[in-house]
Structure 1
Amino acid sequence: MTTLSFIVGVIGNIISVLLFLSPLGTFRRIVKNRSTEEFESLPYICTFLNSALWTYYGIIKSGSYLVATVNGFGAVVEIVFLTLFLIFAPPRTRAKTAILVGLLDVGFLAAAVLIAQLILNDDLRIDVIGFLGAGLNIIMYGSPLTAMKTVVTTKSVEYMPFLLSLFVCLNGGIWTFYAVLVADYFLGVDVCVY
């Protein structure tokens, strides 16, 4: 069973990497046009926060290195995306994005990690961070719905990338299977949001 869970976890990591990289076309367009156009930053802000929390969860929970590594990669990718977004966003959007990054990706994340490290014991720390990660996943995977407003307004699906939708679906399926194999309830709740 360990071999099967490892293989499924590696497949999950590959699909997750593809999911994290699915907005590359969007960011090529942003850099090429030197503008964020109608694209929203909220999905990238939420994905960074979620990835950072799951990286921490994977570090503090023994045997969860597959969760830690792929989410660590995702956090780095989201930092790059957010940096590009901040560089090319108009001033008002840049300010709004910077405030949200400061509040959520720096403030909330730092508070969660500090409280978990300084106040909670090992088992409770894992439970609290797992609960936060699973809860924030609802926000992360709901945040692309902000693009739906643009899709409806413009009557064009160009702001709702197909690859993102495909890899979200595949990612949810494979990580659900992995969560069942390793009996990780928080990871299971996390991916059921997909």
Structure 2
Amino acid sequence: MISADAARNVVGIIGNVISFGLFLSPVPTFYRICKAKDVEEFKADPYLATLLNCMLWVFYGIPVVHPNSILVVTINGIGLVIEAAYLTIFFIYCDNKKRKRALAVLAVEIVFMVIVVVSVLLAAHTHEKRSMIVGILCVIFGAMMYASPLTVMVRERTSIQFCLSLIVRRVVVCLNPSPA
């Protein structure tokens, strides 16, 4: 019989592999941006949303909030680095208007994270309370992250174009029962 811990680890590793695929799904987009040396009509919204989601999950997974969550911390730490790389490329090739908007959103995200970290660590004194508060935030902002590709939809005549592969990968990750 398989132990609960072993099953949890197997499902967690599967979730990490799927999540890694999700984090890498924009690579063709950023290859196109680098090749054209222009972000064209792309927006930073999905990458900013994913960055915030990764920051929240990394905070959730640290031992002071939710002990024994190394798989959550590792994949979301990797995601944080990948999303930061995407945003760096975006900042290099976007115009000033898009750069200012994305930097403003990034600043708000950082301030929000500082407020969350300080509030949770000062107000919630047990792992259960901290896990509950941060977990709820992770679920809320995770849902927002999965919806973020909808902000980049482009209406053309009577049809709508969007990054179908990104949405499909996010649905697959959403269906995985692991928290990563």
Structure (1/2) with the larger helix percentage: 1
CA shift, 1:118, in A, is 2.6
Please state if 1:115 is matched with 2:119. yes
Match of 2:175 among 173, 176, 183: 173
Aligned to 2:131: 126
For CA contacts below 8 A with separation 6 or more, give which structure has more relative contact order.
Answer: 2
Identity over aligned pairs, percent? 34
Q: What is the CA–CA distance in structure 2 between the aligned matches of 1:86 and 1:21, rounded to whole Å?
A: 18
Please state if 1:100 is matched with 2:105. yes
Please state if 1:15 is matched with 2:18. yes
CA shift, 1:83, in A, is 1.1
CA shift, 1:56, in A, is 0.9
Q: What is the CA–CA distance in structure 2 between the aligned matches of 1:58 and 1:153, rounded to whole Å?
A: 42
Match of 2:91 among 86, 108, 114: 86
TM-score w.r.t. length of structure 1: 0.83
- Spell out, residue by residue over 1:77-132, the C-alpha distance to the aligned partner (whole angstroms, 9 max, x if none): 1111111111111111111111111112x111111112112332133222111111
Query: What amino acid is the match of 1:119?
Result: A
What is the number of equivalent residue pairs in this alignment?
173
TM-score w.r.t. length of structure 2: 0.89
CA shift, 1:156, in A, is 6.4
Question: What SS does the corresponding residue of 2:12 show, helix, strand or coil?
Answer: helix
Q: What is the CA–CA distance in structure 1 between the aligned matches of 2:93 and 2:160, rounded to whole Å?
A: 22
Q: What is the CA–CA distance in structure 1 between the aligned matches of 2:30 and 2:13, rounded to whole Å?
A: 27
Query: What amino acid is the match of 2:13?
Result: V
Q: What is the CA–CA distance in structure 2 between the aligned matches of 1:9 and 1:84, rounded to whole Å?
A: 30
Task: Could you tell me which runs of 5 or more consecutive residues in structure 1 were left unpaired when the two chains were aligned.
Answer: 179-186
Please state if 1:44 is matched with 2:47. yes
Aligned to 2:8: 5
CA RMSD of superposed structures (Å) = 1.7
Query: What amino acid is the match of 1:163?
Result: S
Task: Could you tell me which runs of 5 or more consecutive residues in structure 2 were left unpaired when the two chains were aligned.
Answer: none
Q: CA contact under 8 A between 1:53 and 1:109: conserved in structure 2? A: yes
